[in-house]
């Protein structure tokens, strides 16, 4: 594992994107989002994901010349068309608009159809929190998760994000609807480890902690069994209905061909109805109640969502971003 300065990672990725046809400023922003994702420790969706993202540009799934644009608006709600542009730039623009709407109306919502994979879901939660707003956003995905009681992967793992701003560290939850992603299953299998809890069904239809058995059955578990199955359905339905966009069942079940997905960006302004001082105190007190509770393992304090991110971010800011040499060689050759 190499360690590279943030700026070097960002400018290298931006250079590739400019050669692929992105305008300078857009390339810089798109590259920043990838670099920040690696900096924050979400290695599956940062620099390591970049070659696949380039693949979706090269095969036409992502149109680098296209940007998201407003199609319709009604008060605190706007509908945008992503025009199949780069998913992270589209999502950034949509959340930026939702933040503005939330400032103007107390609550704001942007629905974004016809867009592409936004890479790290949490990015847009951190974005809202940095702007002092509560952010809630989600995306649908290609079909990759069987519903409870079903064999076919007709649901998406539809990542869902909640973010609350806080001077002492934003609270940000980024959760997909599968208990374990295929990437996580693969990591466990390669390390020869069993999952810590049941992660899916084996070929015989029994719950199992064996990652390889789940990869073979294609039956990972929805988070909370029937509950996550229902939640994934609702997120897909609201995103598609409100954006007039595609639902999971209409998307190609191939990461390189998945295109034209649907997303929701919601904001609430905590300063609209109360003083920042008071709302910060309420959030701080909840964090303290977790920190002061008894841990299940001695010395391992209960954490709030996003707490670990800040620790990793600081470490990677100090030491440089960890980058796999093989991936980096691949990117340098692009």
Catalytic residues: 45
Only one of the segments 87-95, 115-123, 287-295, 312-320 lies at the binding site for a copy of itself (rule: CB under 8 A); that segment is: 287-295
Q: Which helix (H) or strand (E) holds 134?
A: strand 134-139
> Binding to a copy of itself by residue 164, rule CB under 8 A?
yes
Only one of the segments 40-48, 57-65, 299-307, 316-324 lies at the binding site for a copy of itself (rule: CB under 8 A); that segment is: 299-307
Furthest C-alpha separation in the chain:
57
> Binding to a copy of itself by residue 204, rule CB under 8 A?
no
* Angle between the N-to-C axes of helices 50-58 and 6-19, in degrees from 0 to 180, rounded to the nearest 10: 10
What dihedral do alpha carbons 99, 101, 106, 111 form, nearest 10°?
Answer: -80
In the complex with a copy of itself, the residue whose CB is nearer, 2 or 293, is 293
> Binding to a copy of itself by residue 240, rule CB under 8 A?
yes
Only one of the segments 39-47, 114-122, 181-189, 290-298 lies at the binding site for a copy of itself (rule: CB under 8 A); that segment is: 290-298
> Binding to a copy of itself by residue 279, rule CB under 8 A?
yes
Give 6: exposed, middle or buried? Use CB within 10 Å, 0-12, 13-18, 19+. middle
> Binding to a copy of itself by residue 179, rule CB under 8 A?
yes
Structure tokens given for 232: 């994934």
What 3-state DSSP class applies to 162?
A: strand
In the complex with a copy of itself, the residue whose CB is nearer, 57 or 109, is 109
> Binding to a copy of itself by residue 167, rule CB under 8 A?
no
Which one of 42, 214, 247, 259 is in contact with a copy of itself (CB under 8 A)?
A: 247
CB 76 within 8 A of CB 107: yes
Q: How far is CA 77 from the centre of its chain?
A: 22
> Binding to a copy of itself by residue 149, rule CB under 8 A?
yes
Only one of the segments 11-19, 41-49, 168-176, 181-189 lies at the binding site for a copy of itself (rule: CB under 8 A); that segment is: 168-176
Q: How far is the CB of 17 from a copy of itself (least distance, A)?
A: 32
> Binding to a copy of itself by residue 269, rule CB under 8 A?
yes
Question: Which residues is 109 bridged to in the sheet?
Answer: 77, 266
In the complex with a copy of itself, the residue whose CB is nearer, 275 or 330, is 275
Name the residue among 59, 29, 97 with its Cα closest to residue 263.
Answer: 97
- In eight-state DSSP terms, residue 111 is E
Only one of the segments 15-23, 61-69, 116-124, 243-251 lies at the binding site for a copy of itself (rule: CB under 8 A); that segment is: 243-251
- In eight-state DSSP terms, residue 147 is P
> Binding to a copy of itself by residue 249, rule CB under 8 A?
yes
Q: What angle do CA 45, 191, 308 make, to 5 degrees?
A: 45
Size, binding site for a copy of itself by CB under 8 A: 79
CA distance 63 to 61: 7
- DSSP string of 180-213, one letter each residue: S-HHHHHHHHHTT---SS--EE-TTS-EE--HHH
CA distance 34 to 327: 14
> Binding to a copy of itself by residue 289, rule CB under 8 A?
yes
Per-residue x/- track, 68-107, a copy of itself (CB under 8 A): ----xxxxxx-x------------------------xxxx
Which one of 244, 310, 327, 334 is in contact with a copy of itself (CB under 8 A)?
A: 244
> Binding to a copy of itself by residue 169, rule CB under 8 A?
no
**What is the length of the chain?**
334
In the complex with a copy of itself, the residue whose CB is nearer, 230 or 320, is 230
């Amino acid at each position: 594992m190499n360690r590279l300065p943030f700026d070097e990672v960002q400018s290298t990725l931006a250079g590739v994107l400019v050669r692929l046809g992105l305008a300078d400023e857009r390339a810089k922003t798109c590259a920043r989002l990838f670099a920040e994702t690696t900096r924050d420790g979400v290695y599956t969706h940062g620099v390591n994901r970049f070659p696949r993202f380039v693949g979706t540009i090269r095969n036409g799934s992502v149109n680098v010349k296209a940007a998201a644009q407003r199609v319709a608006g009604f008060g605190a709600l706007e509908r945008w068309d992503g025009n199949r542009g780069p998913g992270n730039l589209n999502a950034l623009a949509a959340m930026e608009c939702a933040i503005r709407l939330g400032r103007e109306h107390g609550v704001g919502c942007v629905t974004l159809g016809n867009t592409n994979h936004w890479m790290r879901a949490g990015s847009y939660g951190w974005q809202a929190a940095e702007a002092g707003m509560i952010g809630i956003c989600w995306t649908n995905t290609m079909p990759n998760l069987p519903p409870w009681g079903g064999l076919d992967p007709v649901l998406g793992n539809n990542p869902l994000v909640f973010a609350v701003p806080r001077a002492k560290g934003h609270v940000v939850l980024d959760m997909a609807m599968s208990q374990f992603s295929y990437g996580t299953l693969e990591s466990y299998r390669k390390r020869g480890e069993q999952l810590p809890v049941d992660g899916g069904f084996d070929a015989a239809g029994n719950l199992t902690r064996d990652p390889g058995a789940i990869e073979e059955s294609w039956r990972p578990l929805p988070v909370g069994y029937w509950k996550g199955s229902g939640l994934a359905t609702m997120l897909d339905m609201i995103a598609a209905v409100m954006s007039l966009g595609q639902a999971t069942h209409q998307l190609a079940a191939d990461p390189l061909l998945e295109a034209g997905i649907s997303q929701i960006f919601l904001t609430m302004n905590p300063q609209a109805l109360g003083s920042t001082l008071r709302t910060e105190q309420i959030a701080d007190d909840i964090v303290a109640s977790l920190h002061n509770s008894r841990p299940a393992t001695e010395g391992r304090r209960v954490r709030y969502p996003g707490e670990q991110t800040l620790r990793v971010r600081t470490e990677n800011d100090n030491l440089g971003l960890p980058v796999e040499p093989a991936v980096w060689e691949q990117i340098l050759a692009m």
